[in-house]
């Protein structure tokens, strides 16, 4: 990713987090805490994939978040001068890799350093 894509991805991540927070306060849901883990922008700026994670029902999360995609696109169009504003697609964060999962990181550290074992 070039510098322009990185800046755009960070802005999209921020805008998406703000919009998700507002949207989940308005809409009733059973996802628990929703967070944006990363944004991937295709080289041709056709699509931007926003990876989101929730505590529960993660499979339904992209469908739940789809209505706010247009709002995020409008904010990007207003703040960035782009010839083409990427279409936003929400994806499950687990589609990227399990390495980004904090619990797996804690589990790995626990196994490596024996953190959960009681010292006698």
What distance in Å separates the CA atoms of residue 98 and residue 106, rounded to the nearest whole number?
A: 12
DSSP three-state, residue 118: coil
pTM of the model: 0.74
pLDDT digits (tens, 9 = 90+) for 33-88: 888 989 999 989 999 999 998 888 888 999 999 999 999 999 998 888 888 899 99
Domain ranges within the chain, ordered by starting residue: 3-113
pLDDT of residue 111: 77
The better pLDDT of the pair 19, 58 is held by: 19
pLDDT of residue 28: 87
% of the chain surpassing 70 pLDDT = 85
What is the C-alpha end-to-end distance of the chain, expressed in Å? 50
The answer to whether the CB of 69 falls within 8 A of the CB of 36 is no
Q: What angle do CA 33, 64, 76 make, to 5 degrees?
A: 90
Q: Which CATH architecture has domain 3-113?
A: 2-Layer Sandwich (3.30)
pLDDT of residue 100: 53
The helices-and-strands tally (H runs, E runs) of the chain is 4, 3
């Amino acid at each position: 990713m070039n510098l322009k894509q990185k800046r755009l991805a960070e802005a999209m991540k921020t805008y998406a987090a703000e919009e998700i927070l507002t949207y989940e306060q308005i809409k009733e849901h059973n996802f628990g805490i929703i967070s944006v883990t990363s944004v991937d922008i295709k080289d041709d700026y056709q699509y931007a994939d926003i990876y989101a994670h929730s505590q529960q029902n993660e499979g339904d999360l992209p469908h739940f978040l789809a209505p706010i995609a247009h709002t995020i696109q409008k904010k990007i169009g207003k703040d960035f001068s782009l010839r083409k504003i990427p279409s936003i697609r929400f994806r499950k964060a687990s589609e990227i890799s399990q390495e980004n999962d904090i619990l797996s990181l804690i589990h790995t550290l626990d196994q490596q350093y024996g953190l959960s074992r009681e010292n006698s």
